[in-house]
Structure 1
């Protein structure tokens, strides 16, 4: 069987639907969540480690982290199709799957409400689940409407997101990241600018940014030893956030996934920012 790499765009409707009984491996938590929401969880035979919602996905065989996956673990599960996000799949992995005769279906992702709606529609279109997609989008729209109602304040607190894996790995989120887009949707503003992606945290930059709020993944806060550990990070106590102990956490996949729970994530973050 010849490998098919489908980097889906707005023309997803032109893509042939995959057979309903195909065995799927998903290499992205958001895609996995969408597939489950579309009723296709029984078809999923394996996932990456970011696929942890719904809870039942945690029991699926894991093939590694979506940015560092070997073909051997995938091939061993004998899937019919592997799916994920275009930017997360290394060319060598795609080539190995081609050699093994495994279909690869990839999607692009835009970190916005419209981008989430589009992604749901494209996944549904590829896997033949369009009716279920309308239900997911209707729920998303209702959640986003609730988020808009709860976020009427004109104040835009400066929020600094720190990605932490202990004090040895601490990065801040710059412009264009999914975290920045989520902060903006929740009524805040990124405390830092002038760079994209992530860069190492420095005490000088932290003090200069002077965030009102410091945001972390729940797992990141735990890796620092909680609030006391974060306060011990050089520069934190000299910020408004540090002086007021305004530290908030969220589950990582919910905060950054931009999937069907986007509206719920916006509501949760908006309430935490108040």
Structure 2
């Protein structure tokens, strides 16, 4: 009885499968016009995927060396057209003024919203999928969730400290209830005396600030000369890096910005 001939593999199928795999995992190149999104990409080890950024994307250090082809108000379309990339990363909040100027790239635009920690985690996951760095993205997500849980547990039964965060002094702007920083205050065992105000950064009078009787005034302004004199002894001025990591929601917010808020609140207990 003659042996049954071996079935030969279809070489074309093997080649196609190999090409498909390479295509799936090829390096995706992006332009980032959002400092927060640039930091997220860097946090999942995706810095080598970024070919250009806006002028405000300066962390980590490697991003300073990349071409800067946009600012808050506009885009250098000529410089952008000379680049090779797959997608443009934009923040719905930070980039609202320039999204409409990129209509020729509408099929390459990826627009994200980053207004709170939940959206931050969603965006880390989404960018991990886009750049084929899902495992690293999940590690970053797990780390942030752990830090949130630790903060909540550490201050759960402590007395709430009446707190106000000042983000500007002319006019006097504070953090309201809808801002990410309001959550930061609560995680640190404080209560924002202006959390009942629905806007992110309401303007208030010095008299209203005094009537609020805060125990801690946390300032994102470098000097206190425009704050009420009676509150200056209760005021804590954050460093530039601490300010930056509170105003831009990124993984660093949980390493630098929020811990600074916690230290200020703890110091008045």
* TM-score above 0.5: yes
Return closer, same or farther for 1:257/1:96 CA change in 2, 3 Å cut-off. Answer: closer
Q: 2:7 matched to which residue of 1? A: none
RMSD: 2.9
When normalised by structure 2's length, the TM-score is 0.75
Shift of residue 100 of structure 1? 5.2
User: Aligned equivalents of 2:90 and 2:184: distance in 1?
Assistant: 21
The answer to which of 264-273 and 24-33 deviates more is 264-273
User: Aligned equivalents of 1:51 and 1:253: distance in 2?
Assistant: 12
Q: 1:204 matched to which residue of 2? A: 207
User: 1:121 is paired with a residue of what secondary structure?
Assistant: helix
Which of 223, 242, 249 is the matching residue for 1:258?
A: 249
Q: 2:108 matched to which residue of 1? A: 103
Give the total of aligned pairs.
Answer: 239
User: Aligned equivalents of 1:174 and 1:261: distance in 2?
Assistant: 22
User: Aligned equivalents of 2:91 and 2:152: distance in 1?
Assistant: 28
Q: 2:226 matched to which residue of 1? A: 233
The answer to which of 171-180 and 135-144 deviates more is 135-144
Which of 52, 62, 67 is the matching residue for 2:58?
A: 52
Contact 1:176 1:197 in 2 (8 A): yes
User: Aligned equivalents of 2:148 and 2:156: distance in 1?
Assistant: 13
Shift of residue 35 of structure 1? 0.5
- Gaps of at least 5 residues in structure 1 are 1-16, 225-229
- Which protein has the larger Cα radius of gyration, Structure 1 or Structure 2? 2
User: Aligned equivalents of 2:159 and 2:191: distance in 1?
Assistant: 10
Q: 1:132 matched to which residue of 2? A: 136
Note the 1:9-24 alignment, pairs <5 A.
20-24=26-30
- Give the number of the structure with larger relative contact order, counting CA–CA contacts within 8 Å between residues 6 or more apart: 1
User: Aligned equivalents of 1:185 and 1:73: distance in 2?
Assistant: 45
Shift of residue 133 of structure 1? 0.9
